[in-house]
Structure 1
Amino acid sequence: MTALSTVDIGRGSEDLYRDQLPGLLNQLADRARVASITASSAIEGIVVDDSARADRILAGRVTNLRTRSEQELAGYRDAQDYLFQGSWRPLNPGLLLHLHKLLFAHTAAPGGQFKTEDNVVVDRAATGELTVRFRPVRASDTPHFVAELIDRYAAEATARRHHPVLLVGLFVLDLLVVHPFEDGNGRVTRALTNALLMDAGYSVSRYVSLEQQIAASADGYYQALLDSTHGWHDGEADPWPWLTYFVNILATAYRMFAERAASGRADGSKQDRVLDYVLHHAPRIFRVADIRTALPGISDPTIRVVLDRLRREGAIASEGLGRAAAWRRLPS
């Protein structure tokens, strides 16, 4: 698998970059932390519109959290920082409960407990109609399934019979299918994904945000999960659509990491991020709202500057006017 080879080659270069470019890697880590927290939250619709205030929340300089979005942004900050400090081991059900507690610690919602009622995973159409996408395991069975999943993962990781990245991907898929919490499943799982990859020796998520890559390809993310959940309860699910997506996300992160290390600078100009999304990740026809969702924390004026530049260069064309306007990528 070419993408998996890219991941392994990238992993082999991490020590070299850490030895030769410690200052650059510190800058990358700071940027990736902010991008991961804001992107993973935005995937769930949690957005703080004031980007300057969001930055202060992520830096821990805001004590009066005004809205539920601010509270949950601070909660994801705490959960991710706890994992990145490296003292979370061992992996056990208590760790999942602790992450969930941190996620909701700033809200009035209860955190730190498994679901007490059966839940479903749904899709919401533009009309507001809900369609059941998947039925997770029953609430009464959740502690058993979580414990069994962790035991199986630990046994396979110790046995080293399979590629560690594929094992992490399978753990993530099964945890999302179990859906152990009433709310916060995606965020807990994405935060834990970074920790498990680093534990297996793949530390790119410390320097390049995987969550931002997922937000930029949200349709592919949800479709891969959907394709790999059919028949899960009967033991007939095909994990490869999800694993293919997962490995490709990681390979893309390693390529970005290598490019930034080679250039000797922390990519992260907000205009560069908008440019990359529009040219390489956005749908062929997209709206400003798509960019906002994929790149939380970037202001509309910055987005408009990049769109105007690309329009002048003949890379995109506008369709319509005002807030309803769409943009179309033109053939190069």
Structure 2
Amino acid sequence: MKSFEPNLIERQQITQNLLRTIRLIGEYKGKQELFKEQSPQVLETLRQAAIIQSTESSNRIEGITAPLERIKELVAEKTTPRDRSEQEIAGYRDVLTTIHTSYAYIPFTPGVVLQLHRDLYQFAVVEGGRWKSVDNEISEIHPDGTKIVRFQPLPAYATPAAMESLHERFNTLWQSEEIEPLLLIPTYVLDFLCIHPFTDGNGRMARLLTLLLLYKAGYEVGRFISLERIVERTKESYYDTLYQSSQNWHLGSHSLLPWWEYFLGVIVLSAYRDFEQRVGLVTKTKGAKTAMVLDAISNMPFDFSIKDLQSQCPTVGIDLIRRILRQERTAGRLECLGRGPDARWQKK
């Protein structure tokens, strides 16, 4: 669409920082198979945790929440959804699973995007799989109740043709191999969000399509580290860089650089660094789950609760988490303030 107008990508500023980021991501891509060969057991633990965290975070960004235990049960398909939030969580779980297992066989067409959106809402009363029928806007509500429109997407009548054009131009460049795929992927995501083709679910679809395209380009980090969790953690930067790069989008005179740097540096590169750290940590500890808890503790703020740790380590049982906390306290690295499940733990 607008970002794929002739020569617009080629005219963008490429900074040394962006070049370095692309180079580092390429180096991490080369280590993927080595990680798999060395630590298959930790990869399985990371894979299970990533599915739960991705499902939880991507929905929570949109205000769709459920207790962690319910999310675990839904992801494991041990229960059925019992309200609208759980219906949408279960739908996200299914689309995520489809992408993880079948990405190589999924053609990247507008029809497939509609099908994935339909599956996202398969358990909900709202019908998915249709382009928006009314105009929408991207806005924010301030605490005093005032609303500010941050971006006006394409009108509903122009959406079907815009999505056809976006996919045609994207696929042409993708197949030509003339432009780095790591630049094409965030550019597609930006245009998708600027078109805002659905009445609801645009953010979740953008994150799912991000995962699909990274898979197709050979970057598998999203299987083991939740990209959605990183977006949730850096939500302000996510929205700020989208806003910066969407300015003058309708005129085709916008800058892709802020979004490129966030997408590649904050999401993809940090996911790979997290991936390497978690896999490497396992070789120094007794097991994958212990490594995950110790890693989560190291990334916690100065004080935290057991619930905070459970959220970061959804595949780890509470008994193991408590045992590790006691060990860390005995070793003098942590201090417990208070008693019971709401007690706070502090680093020393």
Q: CA RMSD in A?
A: 3.2
Per-residue CA deviations over 1:2-47 (Å, capped at 9, x if unaligned) read 2222211100001112222222212211111111111111111111
- Where in structure 2 are the equivalents of 1:56-205 lying within 5 Å? 56-63=73-80, 65-87=81-103, 88-205=105-222
SS at match of 2:148: strand
Which amino acid is 2:299 matched to? D
Find the counterpart in structure 1 of residue 269 from structure 2.
251
Which amino acid is 2:43 matched to? L
Corresponding residue to 1:278 among 292, 297, 301: 301
Q: How many residue pairs end up in the alignment?
A: 303
How far apart are the structure 1 equivalents of 2:313 and 2:198?
A: 25
- Tell me the CA shift for residue 106 of structure 1: 1.0
Per-residue CA deviations over 1:259-296 (Å, capped at 9, x if unaligned) read 11212235532x753651537xxxxxx999xx79x969
How far apart are the structure 1 equivalents of 2:86 and 2:150?
A: 29
Which amino acid is 1:211 matched to? E
Corresponding residue to 2:62 among 28, 41, 44: 44
Find the counterpart in structure 1 of residue 47 from structure 2.
29
Q: Is the 8 A contact 1:215 1:295 kept in 2?
A: no
Note the residue ranges of structure 2 that are not aligned, 5 or more in a row: 1-18, 283-287, 336-347
1:268 and 2:292 correspond: yes
Q: Is the 8 A contact 1:31 1:268 kept in 2?
A: no
How far apart are the structure 2 equivalents of 1:297 and 1:9?
A: 29
Find the counterpart in structure 2 of residue 329 from structure 1.
none
Per-residue CA deviations over 1:118-172 (Å, capped at 9, x if unaligned) read 1100012122321100001111111111111111111111111222111111111
1:233 and 2:250 correspond: yes
**What TM-score, normalized by structure 2, do the two folds share?**
0.79
How far apart are the structure 2 equivalents of 1:228 and 1:96?
A: 23
Which amino acid is 2:91 matched to? G
Which amino acid is 2:119 matched to? L
Which amino acid is 2:292 matched to? G
How far apart are the structure 2 equivalents of 1:74 and 1:183?
A: 16
How far apart are the structure 2 equivalents of 1:168 and 1:181?
A: 20
How far apart are the structure 1 equivalents of 2:276 and 2:243?
A: 31
